[in-house]
Chains A and B, each alone.
Chain A
Amino acid sequence: MKLAGHLALAVLLAVFLLAPFIVHPGLVFIAGFAMIQIVFALSWNILFSYAGLVSFGHAAFFGIGAYLSAAALRYGWNVSFLLIPPASFALGAFAAFLVAIVVLRRANGIQFSVLTLALSQLVVVLIGYSPYLGHDEGISAIPRPVINLGIATLNLANPLANYYFVIGVGLVTILLIWLVVHGPLGRTMQAVRIDPERAAFVGIDVWRLRVASFTLSGGFAAVGGSLLAPWAQIVHPDYVNWLASAQPIFATLLGGVGHFWGPVVGVLGLAGLNYFTRTFVGISEIVVGASLLVVVLVAPQGILGALRKAARKRKAAAGAHP
């Protein structure tokens, strides 16, 4: 199972890296967009699968990165675009920290989820009032930046350079998220998720741990958002609203709850379903919805959960009949 997993990851990485040479530009765009969605979904999964928190309004932090990046490019801020993803992380994390210290002080469980949803909708309303952020129309026709690397320049107007920039920043962010959740902080998060009272009893400051998780998660979501502006060249309130917040939830449920790579499988599954049903006008939503329903009914633990179960069964069967 472990070997198969590593092999699948290697194949996936190869497909992402070789996509511009093997598929048409429409699919390359979908691959880049999927990478952005993967970062977003993994940031949400830090909360759900590790810290035991459910945010219904995570797109607000994604939106902070997206709008920061869009404004920097559209209004020609005099800063290197290389600084925008880290700046987005800082701003997203700061906003998440402010939300966490207010909301987590009082709310838990479902109240927490609903409050995050309300706050994210507030962000949508605020964007609607802001001429700088393009009201309800968003910021469009965003120019792609030229990044000065000292020894060379990277012109993101070149589609290939732009693709590898998105994939590169995406992969680095995925690696950072992996390191966080597989390090001491991640293990402490799991302890709190499994039993907050017992975690507190052994000396873990549960509130502080939850604030830290939420802060980090908001920061990583904003990094994902910062890649949207140069990639899609439009940032719109639709990427911030409740439906956008539901995307990482769908992806995680489809891919596999409790797995680090679950959201990745989910995002790719949803992107694949949407792509292959794109010409079934009128029934594509039914096909996508029915597929999700089947997964939930047949494999409540998601695709990875079902695969793990099947592998265990096979192993047990192999053990019984050597």
Chain B
Amino acid sequence: MTTSRRQFIGGALGMGALSAFPMPAIAQSGNVIKIGLITSLQGGYAAFGQNHKRGAEFAVEEINAAGGINGKKLELVVRDDGLKPDVGIAAARELAGEGVRIFTGGLVSGVVLALNGIMGELDSVFISAAAHGNNLTHEDFRPNYFRVTDYSAMRVAAGSGLVAQKYKTAKVWGSIAPDAEIGRSVMDVVNYHLPRVYKAQNTIDIKMTETLWTKFGATDYRNEIARLMSQGIDGLVVGLGGADETTFLQQAGQLGLTKKIQGFFTSGSEFLGAIALKERTPENYWSGFHWYYGAYPDNPISQKVVEAFRAKGYGKHPDGFVGMTHAAMTAIAGGLRKGAGPTAKEMIPALEGLTFDSVKGKITLRKEDHQAISDVNYALLGPAKNEDGWQVLDFARVDGAQFAGPPTPGKALSFT
């Protein structure tokens, strides 16, 4: 057997490619603390993921400009999870191999659950900036996981209190939700809280009509809208999310449902529906936010983030995803300032019970289940004749402490 020159060059190139692979376990260099940001930068969540990245970058710039933490600068390392749990895990393991022990980000629940499951093994902590699932601080609680935002049940319960205060005479409530775990869990909370809060605040017994269950990705809601209109409802709970919610809102507006009722609320779509629908944004529309910047004109941290967002030309309206990675980085900085090193062993006790100032005021990371006790934000959106095509007519900063429920790490929420 002889080896030709071409074969030799091919083999050499192959060896070169192999040797170019990074080597394992590169330790953190002395004057830099690396923070891994794993979020979804492509697909339907790309806009939210980009804002995740921006919020974390603003925080890192601010912290480093002020001299860093204990003489060390923060460095953000960003990875895209491609909406896939295995891609998120590969990214976390890769960064852990480079010495990263503190992670943040997390948009879709599958990826966050996957990352949550491996943080212990990687001796790392994950400070979740947006994942909303009840399970993450209940039945799927892990000691290495912290959440700086409110969670689904807390937000929906606060929303129930809000509408009971705003629409005191709304006696019949309809609901529409996806026939999936997320939809069912939203409806469990609504069915539990809404009648109780109306009774307590307005001393009236409301009627909850039968929930209309839909499929993910549905494009035609006319039948559901017709049924809701025939139910004689005064208010509506929309448990849909993302593009489904936008499609529903557009059709509900066109068919007059949103004008017919006093008001409706959705738990977590931020500006998404209004940006998509512009002047077709329906009336009486309370949208849930991780952080609504307009609710904090008196908060200098919030104002600074808004200014940075606008100065960079990212747009006029920073959303809650910008705010929450900023809050996550602030929490991390708080933990490090308490003297913790970038390891799970030191960061967990430093973060437990930590209270810090954020874009939405004081946030406390509850010791027992690592859940943020913070404000819950809603904004009333409506159509407008301005360059956006929509406007914010009202907003709410609800104290979330009363709706956070008792900490039950390891146990599922129950409403029976």
Contact = CB atoms under 8 A, between A and B. Distances in A.
Indicate whether A and B interact.
yes
Interface of A: 3, 11, 15, 22-30, 33, 128, 135-138, 140-142, 157, 159, 232-234, 236, 238, 274, 278-279, 281-282, 284-285
B352 interface: no
Contact of B135 (A24, A29, A137): A137
Interface stretch (B114-122, B229-237, B251-259, B314-322): B114-122
A29 B79 contact: no
Contacts of B110: 137-138, 234, 236, 238
B97 A25 contact: yes
A6 to B, nearest CB: 12
Contacts of A11: 14
Contacts of B14: 11
Contacts of A28: 93
Given A24-B93, A29-B93, A238-B85, 8 more contacts: A24-B22, A25-B25, A141-B117, A234-B85, A234-B113, A281-B41, A282-B42, A282-B46
Nearest to A135: B181
14 contacts: A25-B94, A26-B91, A27-B21, A29-B94, A140-B113, A232-B89, A233-B89, A233-B117, A234-B117, A236-B114, A238-B110, A278-B79, A278-B91, A281-B80
Contact of B80 (A25, A137, A234, A278): A278
A281 B78 contact: yes
A303 to B, nearest CB: 15
A287 to B, nearest CB: 12
A127 B98 CA distance: 37
Contacts of B84: 238
Nearest to A233: B117
B41 to A, nearest CB: 5
Q: Is the interface of B mostly helix, strand, loop or mixed?
A: helix
Nearest to B49: A281
Contact of A141 (B46, B95, B140, B180): B140
B89 to A, nearest CB: 6
A274 B80 CA distance: 11
Contacts of B182: 136
Contacts of B140: 137, 140-141
Contact of A26 (B18, B78, B97, B179): B97
Give me the 7 closest cross-chain CB pairs, A-B, nearest first.
A26-B94, A135-B181, A141-B117, A140-B113, A24-B97, A234-B114, A25-B97
Interface of B: 1, 14, 18, 21-26, 41-42, 46, 78-80, 82, 84-87, 89-98, 109-110, 113-114, 116-118, 121, 133, 135, 140, 142, 179-182, 184
B90 A29 contact: yes
Q: Which of B25, B89, B133, B140 has the most CB of A within 10 A?
A: B89
Contacts of A137: 109-110, 113, 133, 135, 140, 181
B34 to A, nearest CB: 14
Q: Which of B1, B25, B86 has the most CB of A within 10 A?
A: B86
A138 B113 contact: yes
Given A24-B23, A137-B113, A137-B135, A233 B97 contact: no
Q: Is the interface of A mostly helix, strand, loop or mixed?
A: helix
Nearest to A4: B7
B144 to A, nearest CB: 11
A69 to B, nearest CB: 15
Contacts of B96: 25-26
Contacts of B179: 128
Given A137-B109, A238-B85, A33 B114 contact: no
A281 B54 CA distance: 14
A136 B180 contact: yes
Given A136-B181, A234-B85, A26 B93 contact: yes
Given A26-B94, A30-B90, A140 B25 contact: no
A26 B95 contact: yes
A273 to B, nearest CB: 12
A24 B92 CA distance: 11
Contacts of A33: 86, 90
Nearest to B96: A25
B93 A15 contact: no
Contacts of A27: 21-22, 90, 94
A44 B71 CA distance: 56
A135 B188 CA distance: 15
B319 to A, nearest CB: 19
